[in-house]
Amino acid sequence: MSWFASRTEAARRYLRVAGLAGLVPPDDPVVDAGLRQVDGRWRLAMDPTAFAVGEPDLAALLAATDVPVVLARGENDPMVTDEQLKEYGVPVATLPGLGHNAHVEDPAAVLALLDPYR
């Protein structure tokens, strides 16, 4: 795990790892949840090697649920396409003009996906 001499350095790294660079400024208090200070040095709260655990079995997770599911993505999300999401056989929503972190870019648009289920 990397250590940083300042909160600012650690915050910049956190924002890159979290895919939030350019969406949230390094000095935003929300960034504090992703950082830890130990003996005057800073690190990320989560070890990025956790991403190496592997891909979740989304098909099994969907099969195990008994509630309605909608898979959503931002129109500009480079990580997944509508076609890939449609393979799971549940409704798919594409949020116009948004990227991978649509929930950060436009929380109201993501929340509106729940309207049919209220």
So where are the chain's domains?
A: 7-51, 55-117
For the chain, percent of residues with pLDDT exceeding 90: 83
**Longest CA span, the chain:** 50
User: Bigger pLDDT: 92 or 19?
Assistant: 92
CA dihedral 38, 43, 49, 54 (to 10 degrees): 100
pLDDT digits (tens, 9 = 90+) for 68-83: 999 999 999 999 999 9
Q: DSSP code of 4? A: B
pLDDT digits (tens, 9 = 90+) for 24-39: 999 999 999 999 999 9
CB of 94 closer than 8 Å to CB of 82: yes
